[in-house]
């Protein structure tokens, strides 16, 4: 069932011609409260926001162009507004993925461990 769902989602992505993208979280968010507790800390945290994954879930985000990847913990909700953006990365995670200059990048998100 999981494989069928993955294939259907991939097919839908190809039909629509829009790869899911990651977004580097804004500097303005530094110090703000996050939904899952604590505050957003762009300098040290390897965290991310996702619309539906449970808080505390660990995911691997892989840059589809470069192959670089990072492991982050879901601790907030978002991104909102742009349906192509599937995950908001903390500034540190975005830097390690190499997307701080362009701000967005095509990615694959893989669940490593659910909370």
CATH of the domain at 95: 2.40.40.10
Total domains in the chain come to 1
Position 115 pLDDT exceeds 60:
yes
Give the C-alpha distances (Å, rounded to integers) separating 35 from 57, 78, 103, 108. Answer: 14, 10, 23, 23
Which domain covers residue 67, as residue numbers? 18-113
Tell me if 71 is assigned to some domain. yes
Q: Torsions phi, psi of 45, nearest 5?
A: -90, 140
27: its two tokens: 């500097």
Is 49 within 8 Å of 79 (Cβ atoms)? Answer: yes
Tell me if 3 is assigned to some domain. no
Tell me if 30 is assigned to some domain. yes
Tell me if 66 is assigned to some domain. yes
pLDDT in tens, 37-54: 565 555 568 999 999 999
Give the C-alpha distances (Å, rounded to integers) separating 110 from 23, 36, 46, 60, 81. Answer: 16, 20, 15, 5, 22
What percent of the chain lies above the pLDDT cut of 70? 66
- For 86-103, what is the mean pLDDT? 90
pLDDT in tens, 12-24: 343 334 567 777 7
Average pLDDT, the chain: 76
Is 104 within 8 Å of 24 (Cβ atoms)? Answer: yes
């Amino acid at each position: 069932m999981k494989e069928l769902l993955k294939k259907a989602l991939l097919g839908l992505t190809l039909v629509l011609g829009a790869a899911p993208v990651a977004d580097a979280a804004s500097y303005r968010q530094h110090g703000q409260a996050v939904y899952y507790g604590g505050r957003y800390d762009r300098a040290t945290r390897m965290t991310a926001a996702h619309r539906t994954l449970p808080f505390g879930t660990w995911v691997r985000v892989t840059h589809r162009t470069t192959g670089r990847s990072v492991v982050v913990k879901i601790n907030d909700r978002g991104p909102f507004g742009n349906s192509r953006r599937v995950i908001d990365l903390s500034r540190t995670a975005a830097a390690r993925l190499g997307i701080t200059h362009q701000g967005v990048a095509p990615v694959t998100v893989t669940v490593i461990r659910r909370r």
